[in-house]
Amino acid sequence: MKTTYITRRETFNAAHKLWRPEWSDEKNWEVFGKCSNQNWHGHNFELWVTVKGNPDPDTGFVMNLKLLSQIVKLHIIEPLDHKNLNLDVPFLEGKMASTEVMAIEIWNILAPLVAMNGGELAKIKLVETENNYVEYYGGKEPF
Amino acid sequence: MKTTYITRRETFNAAHKLWRPEWSDEKNWEVFGKCSNQNWHGHNFELWVTVKGNPDPDTGFVMNLKLLSQIVKLHIIEPLDHKNLNLDVPFLEGKMASTEVMAIEIWNILAPLVAMNGGELAKIKLVETENNYVEYYGGKEPF
Amino acid sequence: MKTTYITRRETFNAAHKLWRPEWSDEKNWEVFGKCSNQNWHGHNFELWVTVKGNPDPDTGFVMNLKLLSQIVKLHIIEPLDHKNLNLDVPFLEGKMASTEVMAIEIWNILAPLVAMNGGELAKIKLVETENNYVEYYGGKEPF
Amino acid sequence: MKTTYITRRETFNAAHKLWRPEWSDEKNWEVFGKCSNQNWHGHNFELWVTVKGNPDPDTGFVMNLKLLSQIVKLHIIEPLDHKNLNLDVPFLEGKMASTEVMAIEIWNILAPLVAMNGGELAKIKLVETENNYVEYYGGKEPF
Amino acid sequence: MKTTYITRRETFNAAHKLWRPEWSDEKNWEVFGKCSNQNWHGHNFELWVTVKGNPDPDTGFVMNLKLLSQIVKLHIIEPLDHKNLNLDVPFLEGKMASTEVMAIEIWNILAPLVAMNGGELAKIKLVETENNYVEYYGGKEPF
Amino acid sequence: MKTTYITRRETFNAAHKLWRPEWSDEKNWEVFGKCSNQNWHGHNFELWVTVKGNPDPDTGFVMNLKLLSQIVKLHIIEPLDHKNLNLDVPFLEGKMASTEVMAIEIWNILAPLVAMNGGELAKIKLVETENNYVEYYGGKEPF
């Protein structure tokens, strides 16, 4: 076996805030700082999707990147891009729009879709700024 | 004369939308596309501020970058970072929050402040995404 | 007047070689080095297109970036992407496929198209590798 | 034990196409899309080579990076840089020039050479564009 | 369990040399090359600190990034930034200032501090130049 | 005339401090802050050298980039790389090692060398960190 990992990047731009309605303004500020600004702020997000597998002898591909890109664009980028993560995104409804939670929810959507297409989702990496990002391996703990 | 140009980068994350209230939803969509999403979207902005001058013989500096950084942070980054550009920013009130307009308004604020500190503002560059940015030279047309 | 410069990035991946058929292999090697490899080599090119103008009071735009992007994609990226610059590109036929020549030819195509859409082309920047790029201002010499 | 991982980057520019001669043009297009262009296209590739080990108490090095760089340049970059991956590269002859296959073949060449010099190859990462890359751990599945 | 990994970047600029006083100049040159320059050289270092954990249901956070940033700045960046790694840094005293050794020492300082604050340090990545970096997982060997 | 600008990047890693010996420690600290650390600090510098000219009809080149690279490496990178800018560099002796001064001195060395080889030096850009850089146009003021 020659398990290889391929990664595709897609990007989206979105607004969000970190805010719990049942908390006071003071508590929200204390915990979330300027990320709790009531009127939102936003980011250019980078999403890196990693699929693992054995390269197909005919194509040399673990999975066709065009297909992977189409799946990610249709199911993840379309609902997130130029949207408000707290208000506009069905799969984030009622959840904190932290990068951790987003990465987990993105995994939950993509894992079965990638499997249906003969791949195995291995990792979601979500970059929020040049100074921070989140990685999720479906709950696995590689390190 | 040895005119030299120094540039300092600062960053901020903000939400905005491109939307004219007197236009119909259809017209807003036609002109601004997904940037007109009612519930906002957002970006990691990079602001590059360029000051020109003759290096001081004692310091080798056109202008002290610490001082330039403090001015930019206090007067521009503070009011923009983790804010809604349409709702929260006094100097953008009643204006379209396009990168062009933002660059011009940032110039208008910084030019006299830089001058007061012995420098000459030469250029504002505002990067909205990895695929687009705006430059403003105070109305000059270098090319 | 508030002349502002907006820039849009598009990318393409292409093969080329630097080779003059009327020269000997030795002369080609001497002048072009490994870029003269008979069987081609290739690059991920970045094209940065800059348009200047006065922001429109209604939109805050020098030019609609969606429109600019469509023009660049249709007339430049489409014929260059995943192509052989020496063999497949009508507007480079019979010309050296150096980044300098490419930038000039791209300018010649885009300048009238941008003008037809109410903009003024100001600069073409073509990045070949992380270590080199070319800029062309339509023959102007800003510096 | 203080197992540490060091990584060295080298770059090369090359042409390739994804194309199976026994398939029709239509099938090649269907599977490989624009990557199947008969006259080739190309990329700026980045190769990241990771070696693991215990830092030497005298040097603080897992492996001397100068030596690692020399090995990678001589055995990998030299045969790939400014070459056609389908035509010019002995170690890719008769193979699909996908990034997956390239990463595996690079591993197969480098693993014994690194071992001979007292190191242990841990990972090959091959970046084809800013939007996709491949990782290979010698068949191991860290995640 | 939904173990997620969050990473925060901090930067510092420092001077160092690779040099063993008990070795001759020739031996130092042979092993360390230009890195052994007696009068030092320097780098812009990037430090990436990764913490793992289960996102808190209230905040969506593995660990508050503001808090992580404060810990890293106070205990690592403060003693390293604009310093000489061989002369000015208590926790590197008497040690080779290689990136490997630095990454291990940074881990040793941060691991208990992160644990005290309810997190679990998972990885230290230290980038010295655009061409090399080191990773340390506390001695674990994920691959 | 088709004046085009080509740019080549070279990098070097060096130590320096900003410090005037005739000033007190307090004054040095007040003006130069942490850059005045007695035991030096350092950076990964990026040098971007721009040459202008009309592309040669035979080669498509403003100037051969291999030749430009050789000139820059021999006369600038060789004396600066892995050196102490205050102690080891003849052309900076007795001068403040600020990026402004360095850019001017690099211009003074390169301008005649580029001219001797049929080019015209147009710009020196020296990047010290991801947050600041200096540009020098030989004293010209393009904007």
Annotated catalytic residue A130: no
User: For chain D, how many structural domains are there in total?
Assistant: 1
Contacting subunits of F (3+ beta carbon pairs below 8 A) = B, C, E
- pLDDT, residue B137, reads 98
Contacting subunits of C (3+ beta carbon pairs below 8 A) = B, D, F
Q: Are strands B120-129 and B132-136 parallel, antiparallel or unpaired?
A: antiparallel
Q: Note whether C15 contacts D88, CB cutoff 8 Å.
A: no
Does A103 have pLDDT greater than 90? yes
Measured from the Cβ of residue A10, the count of other Cβ atoms closer than 10 Å reads 18
Q: Who contacts E21 (Cβ-Cβ below 8 Å, separation ≥6)?
A: none
For residue B124, give the CATH number of its domain: 3.30.479.10
From E119, D79, C98, select the one nearest F66 (Cα to Cα). Answer: C98
Scan for tokens 């590197």, then name that residue.
E92
Q: Note whether F132 contacts B8, CB cutoff 8 Å.
A: yes
Q: Using CA atoms, how far apart are residues D26 and D29, in angstroms rounded to an integer?
A: 5
E strand segments, D17-131: 41-53, 83-84, 120-129
Domain that holds residue E41: 4-61+70-136
Residue E87 zone, left/alpha/beta (φ > 0; ψ -120 to 50; rest): alpha
Q: By the CB < 8 Å criterion, does D3 face chain E?
A: yes
Q: Are strands F83-84 and F4-16 parallel, antiparallel or unpaired?
A: parallel
Look at residue D46 and tell me if it is in a domain: yes
- The mean per-residue pLDDT over the stretch E3-27 comes to 97
Q: B133 has which bridge partners?
A: B127, C7
**Residue in A35, A43, A75, A135 annotated catalytic:** A35
- pLDDT, residue D1, reads 83
Q: Using CA atoms, how far apart are residues E6 and E4, in angstroms rounded to an integer?
A: 7
F96: helix, strand or coil: coil
DSSP assignment of B62-109 equals SS-HHHHHHHHIIIIIHHHTTEETTTS-GGGTTS---HHHHHHHHHHH
Nearest to E37 among F44, F82, F129 (CB): F82
Alpha carbon of B55: minimum distance to chain A alpha carbons (Å): 32
Distance in Å from the first CA to the final CA of chain B: 23
Look at residue F143 and tell me if it is in a domain: no
D98: helix, strand or coil: coil
- pLDDT, residue F68, reads 98
Look at residue C119 and tell me if it is in a domain: yes
Scan for tokens 């650390």, then name that residue.
F37
Q: Which two tokens stand for residue F48?
A: 């971007």
Chain C residues in contact with B103 by the CB 8 A cut-off are 4
Length of chain C: 143
- pLDDT tens figures, A71-84: 999 999 999 999 99
- pLDDT tens figures, B41-91: 999 999 999 999 999 999 999 999 999 999 999 999 999 999 999 999 999
**Residue in E10, E35, E43, E75 annotated catalytic:** E35
Alpha carbon of C101: minimum distance to chain F alpha carbons (Å): 6
Chain A residues in contact with B35 by the CB 8 A cut-off are 82
Residue type, D72: V
Does F66 have pLDDT greater than 90? yes
Look at residue C141 and tell me if it is in a domain: no
Alpha carbon of F101: minimum distance to chain B alpha carbons (Å): 6
Q: Note whether D15 contacts C15, CB cutoff 8 Å.
A: yes
Confidence of residue F1 (pLDDT cuts 50, 70, 90): confident
Does D23 have pLDDT greater than 90? yes
Please provide residue A80's backbone torsions phi and psi, each rounded to the nearest 5 degrees.
Answer: -105, -30
Q: Which two tokens stand for residue D33?
A: 């899309």
Chain F residues in contact with C18 by the CB 8 A cut-off are 59-60
Q: Note whether E4 contacts A33, CB cutoff 8 Å.
A: no
Q: Using CA atoms, how far apart are residues B66 and B74, in angstroms rounded to an integer?
A: 12
From F125, B21, D130, select the one nearest C46 (Cα to Cα). Answer: D130
- The single-letter DSSP state of residue E24 is -
Chain F residues in contact with E82 by the CB 8 A cut-off are 34-35, 37, 41
Q: Count chain A–chain D contacts defined by CB atoms under 8 A.
A: 68
Confidence of residue A1 (pLDDT cuts 50, 70, 90): confident
Does F23 have pLDDT greater than 90? yes
Nearest to A4 among D20, D103, D131 (CB): D103
Q: Count chain A–chain E contacts defined by CB atoms under 8 A.
A: 69
Q: Using CA atoms, how far apart are residues C45 and C126, in angstroms rounded to an integer?
A: 7
Confidence of residue C123 (pLDDT cuts 50, 70, 90): very high
Chain C residues in contact with D13 by the CB 8 A cut-off are 41-43, 129
**Residue in F30, F41, F78, F82 annotated catalytic:** F82
- Closest residue of E to A139, CA-based? E2
Look at residue A143 and tell me if it is in a domain: no
- Closest residue of C to B142, CA-based? C142
- Closest residue of B to F138, CA-based? B2
Nearest to D42 among C34, C40, C87 (CB): C40
Nearest to E61 among A100, A104, A137 (CB): A100
Q: Note whether C130 contacts D44, CB cutoff 8 Å.
A: yes
- pLDDT tens figures, C82-114: 999 999 999 999 999 999 999 999 999 999 999
Look at residue D141 and tell me if it is in a domain: no
Annotated catalytic residue E141: no
- pLDDT, residue A7, reads 98
**Residue in B35, B43, B75, B120 annotated catalytic:** B35
Q: By the CB < 8 Å criterion, does D20 face chain E?
A: no
Helices (H), chain F: 25-32, 65-72, 78-80, 99-116
Largest CA distance in chain C: 60
Length of chain B: 143
- pLDDT, residue C1, reads 83
Q: Which two tokens stand for residue A34?
A: 């300027």
CB A71 within 8 A of CB A113: yes
Q: Which two tokens stand for residue A109?
A: 């959507």
Chain B residues in contact with A14 by the CB 8 A cut-off are 41-42
- pLDDT tens figures, E70-124: 999 999 999 999 999 999 999 999 999 999 999 999 999 999 999 999 999 999 9
CB A2 within 8 A of CB D139: yes
- Closest residue of E to F14, CA-based? E41
Does F134 have pLDDT greater than 90? yes
- Closest residue of E to D139, CA-based? E143
- The single-letter DSSP state of residue F34 is G
Q: D120 has which bridge partners?
A: D52
What's the mean pLDDT when you consider all of chain D? 97
Does C139 have pLDDT greater than 90? yes
Nearest to E129 among F34, F35, F44 (CB): F44
Q: Using CA atoms, how far apart are residues F49 and C139, in angstroms rounded to an integer?
A: 20
- pLDDT tens figures, B116-138: 999 999 999 999 999 999 999 99
Annotated catalytic residue F35: yes
Share of chain D above pLDDT 90, in %: 99
Q: What is the crossing angle of helices A65-72 and A99-116, to 10°? A: 130
Alpha carbon of B67: minimum distance to chain C alpha carbons (Å): 27
CB E18 within 8 A of CB E34: no
CB F55 within 8 A of CB F4: yes
Does D32 have pLDDT greater than 90? yes
Q: Count chain E–chain F contacts defined by CB atoms under 8 A.
A: 77
Look at residue D17 and tell me if it is in a domain: yes
Look at residue A141 and tell me if it is in a domain: no
Query: Which site among E2, E52, E64, E107 would you substitute to test the A interface, given the most A Cβ atoms closer than 10 Å to its Cβ?
Result: E2
Scan for tokens 């080739």, then name that residue.
D40
Nearest to C139 among F2, F7, F122 (CB): F2
Q: By the CB < 8 Å criterion, does D111 face chain A?
A: no
Q: By the CB < 8 Å criterion, does F139 face chain C?
A: no
Q: Which two tokens stand for residue F55?
A: 């592309």
- pLDDT, residue C122, reads 98
- pLDDT, residue B77, reads 98
Q: By the CB < 8 Å criterion, does F22 face chain B?
A: no
From C120, C128, C111, C131, select the one nearest C47 (Cα to Cα). Answer: C128
Q: By the CB < 8 Å criterion, does A127 face chain B?
A: no
Scan for tokens 């597998």, then name that residue.
A53
- pLDDT, residue B1, reads 83
- pLDDT, residue D108, reads 98
Q: By the CB < 8 Å criterion, does F132 face chain B?
A: yes
Q: Using CA atoms, how far apart are residues F50 and C97, in angstroms rounded to an integer?
A: 20
From F138, F142, F140, F45, select the one nearest F99 (Cα to Cα). Answer: F45
Alpha carbon of E82: minimum distance to chain F alpha carbons (Å): 5
Question: With touching defined as 3+ CB pairs under 8 A, do chains A and C touch?
Answer: no
* Residue E130, Cβ density class (10 Å: 0-12 exposed, 13-18 middle, ≥19 buried): middle
Alpha carbon of B95: minimum distance to chain C alpha carbons (Å): 8
The ipTM estimated for the assembled molecules is: 0.97
Alpha carbon of F1: minimum distance to chain E alpha carbons (Å): 38
Residue D118 zone, left/alpha/beta (φ > 0; ψ -120 to 50; rest): left
Nearest to E42 among F11, F41, F88 (CB): F41
Q: Using CA atoms, how far apart are residues A24 and A94, in angstroms rounded to an integer?
A: 18
